[in-house]
Amino acid sequence: MSSVTPPGWYPDPSGRYGTRWWDGTQWTQQLGPPLSQIPRPRIADTTRTDTVFVWVLALLPLVTVPLLLTYQPHFRYESIGPSHIRSIDPTSIYTAGYLLVQGASLLLYAANVLLAFFDHRALTRRGVVRPFPWPWVFLSSIVYVIGRYVVVRKVAPGRAMWPLWVLMAVSVIGAVVGITRSVALFHQMLL
């Protein structure tokens, strides 16, 4: 069975040295510099760099837009204390819609993490050496996708980055809907 891993510097499998040369079929005795100093080898022009996972990651924020619209609080006020300070009744905010949005947000966050992990694994299988680390998705899916394409552009220059542009557009749409919705709720709260 032939290897799909191209010749190059890779982490030393023994773990004792920084890198070791892989000649395409076996490890050699040639030791090299630390992995961080080795440029990533280019991948074949026929190798696809966009995976189904990065596309789903780019489109997943569209699920949140309808969820934002399901949250319909009806603000009720109550008087607190001897001076009758006007305050919002918390039960008017924490409705079933609120709990649905929070639960769905948690599930979407978990889905982002899984999608980034599977995308990273798919890139590794396609020959990308040291793809962008998938745990960056814990900060934000857009952080992972931007970092991913920084690495992809190094190993496959000139490739289209459509999932990145779609995620940016979807994020802007989500931000506009979210801000509009927040302003409407704030206005409703003041009435």
The dihedral sign for the CA sequence 162, 165, 171, 172: negative
Rounded to an integer, the average pLDDT of 170-188 is 87
* Confidence check: pLDDT of 133 > 50: yes
CB neighbour list of residue 101: distance below 8 Å, 6 or more residues apart: 67, 68, 70, 71
* Confidence check: pLDDT of 47 > 60: yes
Give the model's confidence band at 1: pLDDT under 50 very low, under 70 low, under 90 confident, else very high: very low
Cβ atoms of residues 90 and 98 within 8 Å: no
